[in-house]
Structure 1
Amino acid sequence: MHYDPRRNDHGLPRDPFKALVAPRPIGWISTLDTDGRANLAPYSYFNAVSDHPHLVMFSSMGRKHSWANAEETGEFVCNLATYALREAMNITSAPAPAGESEFELAGLERAPSVVVKPPRVAASPVALECKTVKVQPLFNLEGEEARYTMVIGEVVHIHIDDAIIKDGFVSLAAAEPIARCGYMEYAHVSELFKMARPAT
């Protein structure tokens, strides 16, 4: 089959686009609002976009708390969502009202960050402390503003649980991160394989 994504004339029960760009890492974003209240929410439109400098981004549909807080305070933390934390991560996706902490809703302990003020998820084996670099609205071909806005942050401090470092390398199989697939489907990393790049 083939279809025009601008017309969405695929004839399927649901748009398959998200299932085609998958699996996608989950940015479990913790922030503080200007009153110091904590927020925690998962974003599947998330990724690293540079390692010089270390930049990550998440994209929000509508001005949700994570976007607003990251823009207004200039800080956020990306916590690694893992298989062991999948249920808690899912709870934090609920549309809680402003000021109600998803940490408490999901029964998650906070841990202090080093450089930024937002707390990290204590049980998460990896956390990236970030300073907001840019908040970028997205547009279509006609120049019309999209429903999504991208928040880009520079990583200013990194936490890694020593338990997932094996022989000097981070073991993602030990961390078991989860990723968003299509529809309500997720995947988790439990096995890895290696391939060497061709010599040039």
Structure 2
Amino acid sequence: MYYEADAPSLPHNPFKAIVAPRPIGWISAMDRAGRVNLSPYSFFNAVGGEPDMVMFSSVGRKDAIAFAEEGGEFVCSLATFDLREAVNATSAPLPRGESEFGFAGLTPAPSRKVRPPRVAESPAAIECKWLQTVPLVPLDGSAPNNFLVIGQVVSLYVDDRYVKDGRVDTGAMRPILRGGSFDYFTAEPETRFELRRPKGGGG
């Protein structure tokens, strides 16, 4: 069966179930006044290397975008299975400037090269400098409702417990991944396998 993209006939949009599982960017950003916002985004991923770049996309211009633009920086802490309830709690629509860290019982830890803190309880974090925000204008030319934020990575934090033989053990950190409707998944070390690219293949 086909479903119309602008009016799917299912209770939950099948698009989000097909483009899945998606990594979650747990974004912290700070405005000029020093107020911090922490919120999860399932439209998140790495988008470049040499230099490394990441993006997150928001439906509507939320505080994470405004703070990232104003402060020029943001941090992506890894959302993990052990922190799933706290990750969910930080999606609550709190008044602007109220701390999601305090609301979710999380500890802000100083970052190395940017002002916004990382989540101390998270085993990994990516520190970024804001590069640009791209309004995603739809086909009909109407006002954009989605905004893509791109940042360049300037520093990485990884808990030493998850570095083995010179490699980061992603599965051991058990990152949570977003599916459709209310579904989430985890990456487990038992499901890991290696594939070597053919000679001449890209990175």
Q: Tell whether the structures are fold-level matches, with TM greater than 0.5.
A: yes
2:199 counterpart of 1:199: yes
Q: After superposition, give the CA deviation of every residue in 1:12-47 in whole Å (9 maximum; x if it has no partner).
A: 222211011000000000011221011100000000
Alpha-carbon distance in 2 for matches of 1:73, 1:33: 5
Q: Residue 15 of structure 1 is aligned with which of 13, 17, 29?
A: 13
2:141 counterpart of 1:143: yes
> Quick one: which amino acid aligns to residue 68 of structure 1?
A
- Give the secondary-structure state (helix, strand or coil) at the position aligned to 1:56: strand
Deviation at 1:80, TM superposition (A): 0.4
What RMSD in Å do the two structures reach over aligned CA positions?
A: 1.1
Q: Match for residue 35 of structure 2?
A: 37
Alpha-carbon distance in 2 for matches of 1:60, 1:87: 21
Q: After superposition, give the CA deviation of every residue in 1:172-194 in whole Å (9 maximum; x if it has no partner).
A: 11111011111111001113112
> Quick one: which amino acid aligns to residue 149 of structure 1?
F
TM-score (norm 1): 0.95
> What percentage of aligned pairs have identical amino acids?
55
Structure 2 residue runs of 5 or longer lacking an equivalent are none
Deviation at 1:11, TM superposition (A): 2.5
- Give the secondary-structure state (helix, strand or coil) at the position aligned to 2:161: helix
Deviation at 1:168, TM superposition (A): 1.1
Q: Map 1:49-198 to 2 at 5 A.
A: 49-190=47-188, 191-198=191-198
Q: Match for residue 5 of structure 2?
A: 5
Deviation at 1:72, TM superposition (A): 1.0
TM-score (norm 2): 0.94
Deviation at 1:197, TM superposition (A): 2.2
Alpha-carbon distance in 2 for matches of 1:143, 1:170: 43
Deviation at 1:145, TM superposition (A): 3.0
Deviation at 1:199, TM superposition (A): 3.2
Structure 1 residue runs of 5 or longer lacking an equivalent are none
> Quick one: which amino acid aligns to residue 80 of structure 2?
T
Deviation at 1:5, TM superposition (A): 1.0
Alpha-carbon distance in 1 for matches of 2:192, 2:156: 23
